Amino acid sequence: MNMIVIGTKKLLRDTITLYWELLKVMVPVMILVRLSVEFGVIEIIGRIISPVMQLVGLPGEMGFVWVTAMVVNIYAGAAALLTLLPEHPLTVAQATVLGSMILIAHSLPIEQRIAQKAGAGILFTTGLRLVCALVYGMFLSIIYAGFADFQQPAEVVFLSTSPASQDWLPWALSNTKALFSIFWIILALLFGLKMLDVLKITPLIAKSLSPLLRLMGIGEKATSMTMAGALLGLSYGGALIIQEARSGSLSDKDIFLSLSFMCLCHSLLEDTLFVMAFGGHYSGLLLGRLIFSLIVTMALARIINNLPALTFRRYLFNEM
């Protein structure tokens, strides 16, 4: 009984801590987006980025959401999306496309610096994430166009997407309710992740996926840490890569391929479940993204195997 009480208290503390960190990001972003809507900034940005968004079947305004997620993080992108959704509702297909693009390319200033410190060239991996996000978004948009179920309105868990009021007070009350609902999403998410650890499912998932990494040419020594990063996040996986690289136990190729894969496919559990709460479908957010990342990494492995060592080190790899 004491263990249950202690575990419950820790879960609540962790939830409150994470929720407070999210509020510090989300509330300013939501106010900024609201002001941007009032002064027509979103409309201008939408027109500018609309050609890119049209490639993936999204309204131009959703480009602001993606850019926000890229520059800040996923939660800032979610805040921008919450503010825009009432006026710009999405279908399941569109929510999945946008969510997938955000999952591939987000928090670029921070995460790409981590990848650089771990050994991957920052320009290459940043370009890789941007190009792959667009290509994968286009692919999903084309595939989902053939399925009527994906053209239904996206259902946002716990959140209301009724038409937005022009007045600030109703807007503030509506978004306060939405932010409060996110607390329960975070609580359920952390509880689920804790259960996966308690039941030893997370290591089992990593072990079951590790043969796929070997198909990409990632050596056995880098397999476990690559899967740890893929499941738990680039920061965690990057830290493990840095530690092992400094010990000299990993080849430059393993470091590069591992980081490239993690750039495209990391935090498969936490971030994916959070984005699914905004109406995206697991087929694109999880399964398709994992397969796409595997294919891209396999292609990269073939390319670098045929590159001169000097070219590889000059353009793709950073010495530790």
Q: Are 64 and 15 in contact (CB under 8 A)?
A: no
Q: Three-state SS for 107?
A: coil
Say whether pLDDT at 81 is over 80: yes
Q: At a CB cut-off of 8 Å and minimum separation 6, what does 305 contact?
A: 217, 253
Residues 62-77 have a mean pLDDT of 90
- Quick one: pLDDT at residue 249? 77
Say whether pLDDT at 8 is over 70: yes
pLDDT band at 144 (very low <50, low <70, confident <90, very high): very high
- Quick one: pLDDT at residue 113? 86
pLDDT band at 25 (very low <50, low <70, confident <90, very high): confident
Q: At a CB cut-off of 8 Å and minimum separation 6, what does 34 contact?
A: 83, 168, 171
- How far apart CA 135 and CA 238 sit, in angstroms, is 25
pLDDT in tens, 276-314: 988 999 999 999 999 999 999 999 999 998 999 888 888
* Residue 57 amino acid letter: G
Q: Token digits for 15? A: 């939830």
The conformation of residue 259, written as its DSSP 8-state character, comes to H
Phi, psi angle pair for 140, to nearest 5°: -65, -40
Q: Are 92 and 42 in contact (CB under 8 A)?
A: no
Task: Give domain limits for the chain.
Answer: 2-315
Q: Token digits for 190? A: 């952390």
- Quick one: pLDDT at residue 90? 95
- How far apart CA 238 and CA 226 sit, in angstroms, is 9
Instruction: Give the range with max mean pLDDT: 24-28, 193-197, 205-209.
Output: 24-28
pLDDT in tens, 227-270: 877 887 887 677 777 777 777 778 888 889 989 999 999 888 88
pLDDT in tens, 148-203: 999 999 988 755 544 444 577 777 877 787 788 788 888 887 888 788 777 777 67
- How far apart CA 280 and CA 95 sit, in angstroms, is 5
Residues 91-102 have a mean pLDDT of 97
The number of beta carbons lying within 10 Å of the beta carbon of residue 176 is 11
Q: Are 134 and 70 in contact (CB under 8 A)?
A: no
- How far apart CA 286 and CA 100 sit, in angstroms, is 8
- How far apart CA 182 and CA 185 sit, in angstroms, is 5
Residues 26-46 have a mean pLDDT of 81
Say whether pLDDT at 58 is over 90: yes
- How far apart CA 112 and CA 117 sit, in angstroms, is 9
| Closest to 292 (Cα-Cα) out of 271, 273, 264 | 264
- Quick one: pLDDT at residue 260? 93
DSSP letters, 112-166, are HHHHHHHTB-HHHHHHHHHHHHHHHHHHHHHHHTT-GGGGSBPPPTT---PPPPS
Q: Three-state SS for 317?
A: strand
β-pair partners for 317: 120
> Which of residues 226 and 67 earns the better pLDDT score?
67
Residues 134-149 have a mean pLDDT of 96
The pTM is what? 0.85
